[in-house]
């Protein structure tokens, strides 16, 4: 009896609609609630962790910055103290004097090296190398006089080189003058009678020759001499006309070379062709610069000579007390 009632209740329970479904839905809802809670906890953890790490990094960054600033302050303080010790007034003066001494020694060594290059001892005396432009004849005469005061007397000139014989220092006055033709014997006799020595002469472009004269000065001497100004002026004008042609050719070559370089670069020409054009342009430019310098110096000398001719001349010749 009891068994049969239990079975009947079980059968009725199984066949009651909605009761089992409600239990299943409650279980499913509970599981979903657990999953939602778990997801929320995970999201909170993920959001909270970077914020905490950022706060920690910020704190550590501030600490590191403070440490670096402290170290920099110490380093700068040490540098300041070292500089103060090194550059105190006494040490600064000592360093200045030492530097000046080193510079002076270096200059002396360079000067000695240059002097050894410019001057070379020979069997007769000395050979020097010095550049004088054709318009610098007065400076050249002063240079020869300074060498005579040292005991080296001029005997020969070959381009940039000057040959001297060694002797006793003498107060020689030198004069460089141009003659379109060889002076005759009468002229040479007058020079010798006046105390002038015709030491050396060199030809200039087959238009004449430069003569090197000298006169030994004594105390109280009144030196009288007459320069061949017209012949010298004619020579300078002839040379400047020739140099104008050279300057024109050099300028045209430079311009054409630059144009060729630009064209080769524009058409992506051969590198060796561009190199040849660059070398040619450089050479032409150097030639132009050198001749322009010589030309300008000579033109200024011509202007000086013409201005001197316009000034009134009280006496013939030049009277100079030396």
pTM score? 0.58
- Structural contact between residues 295 and 240, judged by C-beta atoms closer than 8 angstroms: yes
Task: Give the DSSP H or E segment for 237.
Answer: helix 229-266
The span from the CA of 214 to the CA of 174, in Å, is 4
**Quick one: average pLDDT of 221-244?**
84
Q: Kindly state the percentage of the chain with pLDDT values over 70.
A: 70
Asked if residue 6 and residue 65 are part of one domain, the reply reads yes
Asked if residue 174 and residue 255 are part of one domain, the reply reads no
* CB-side neighbour CA atoms (13 Å) of 200: 13
Q: Kindly state the percentage of the chain with pLDDT values over 90.
A: 23
Asked if residue 254 and residue 207 are part of one domain, the reply reads no
Tokens of 314: 């009280």
Q: What pLDDT is stored for residue 16 in this prediction?
A: 47
Asked if residue 76 and residue 149 are part of one domain, the reply reads no
Asked if residue 126 and residue 75 are part of one domain, the reply reads no
How many Å from the N-terminal Cα to the C-terminal Cα in the chain?
Answer: 170
Domain-embedded: residue 99 = no
Tell me which of 44-53, 61-70, 261-270 is least confident. 44-53
Q: Say which residue, 118 or 11, is predicted with more confidence.
A: 118
Asked if residue 153 and residue 75 are part of one domain, the reply reads no
Q: Please, what is the average pLDDT of the chain?
A: 78
In a 3-state reduction of DSSP, which class is residue 193?
Answer: helix
**Quick one: average pLDDT of 169-183?**
88
Residue 74 sits in which domain range?
1-86
pLDDT in tens, 123-162: 888 999 988 988 898 999 999 999 999 999 999 988 889 9
Q: What pLDDT is stored for residue 151 in this prediction?
A: 92
The span from the CA of 135 to the CA of 140, in Å, is 10
Write the DSSP symbol of residue 205: T
Q: 217, 245, 276 — which closes off a domain?
A: 217
The span from the CA of 264 to the CA of 285, in Å, is 19
Asked if residue 251 and residue 206 are part of one domain, the reply reads no
Asked if residue 132 and residue 158 are part of one domain, the reply reads yes
Domain-embedded: residue 96 = no
pLDDT in tens, 187-229: 888 888 888 888 988 887 667 888 899 998 887 666 777 778 8
Q: 161, 187, 217 — which closes off a domain?
A: 217
Exposed e or buried b per residue across 192-219, where buried means at least 16 C-beta atoms within 10 angstroms of its C-beta:
eeeebeebbbeebeeebbbbbbbbebee
Residue 85 scores a pLDDT above 80? no
Asked if residue 188 and residue 157 are part of one domain, the reply reads yes
Domain-embedded: residue 282 = yes
Asked if residue 133 and residue 194 are part of one domain, the reply reads yes
Domain-embedded: residue 170 = yes
Domain-embedded: residue 226 = no
Asked if residue 2 and residue 69 are part of one domain, the reply reads yes
**Number of domains the chain is built from:** 3
In a 3-state reduction of DSSP, which class is residue 318?
Answer: strand
Residue 283 scores a pLDDT above 90? yes
The span from the CA of 189 to the CA of 209, in Å, is 19
Q: Say which residue, 293 or 18, is predicted with more confidence.
A: 293
Asked if residue 169 and residue 132 are part of one domain, the reply reads yes
Domain-embedded: residue 109 = no
């Amino acid at each position: 009896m009891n068994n049969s009632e239990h079975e009947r209740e079980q059968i009725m329970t199984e066949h009651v609609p909605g009761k089992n479904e409600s239990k299943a839905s409650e279980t499913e809802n509970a599981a979903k609630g657990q999953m939602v809670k778990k997801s929320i906890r995970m999201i909170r953890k993920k959001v909270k962790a970077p914020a905490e790490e950022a706060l920690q990094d910020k704190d550590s960054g501030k600490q590191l910055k403070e440490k670096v600033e402290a170290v920099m302050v110490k380093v700068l303080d040490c540098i300041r103290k070292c500089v103060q010790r090194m550059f105190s007034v006494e040490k600064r003066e000592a360093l200045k004097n030492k530097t000046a001494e080193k510079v002076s020694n270096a200059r002396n060594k360079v000067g000695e090296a240059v002097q050894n290059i410019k001057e070379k001892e020979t069997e007769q005396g000395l050979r020097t190398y010095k550049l004088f432009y054709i318009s610098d004849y007065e400076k050249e005469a002063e240079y020869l006089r300074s060498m005579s005061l040292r005991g080296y007397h001029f005997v020969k000139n070959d381009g940039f080189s000057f040959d001297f014989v060694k002797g006793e220092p003498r107060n020689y006055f030198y004069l460089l003058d141009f003659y379109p033709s060889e002076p005759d014997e009468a002229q040479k006799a007058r020079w010798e009678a006046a105390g002038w020595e015709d030491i050396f002469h060199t030809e200039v472009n087959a238009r004449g020759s430069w003569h090197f004269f000298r006169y030994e000065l004594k105390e109280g001497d009144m030196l009288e001499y007459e320069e061949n100004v017209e012949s010298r002026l004619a020579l300078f004008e002839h040379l400047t006309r020739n140099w104008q042609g050279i300057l024109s050719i050099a300028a045209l070559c430079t311009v054409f070379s630059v144009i060729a370089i630009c064209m080769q670069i524009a058409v992506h020409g051969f590198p060796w062709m561009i190199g040849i054009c660059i070398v040619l342009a450089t050479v032409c430019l150097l030639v132009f610069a050198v001749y322009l310098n010589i030309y300008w110096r000579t033109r200024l000398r011509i202007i000086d000579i013409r201005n001197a001719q316009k000034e009134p001349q009280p006496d013939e010749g030049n009277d100079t007390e030396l």
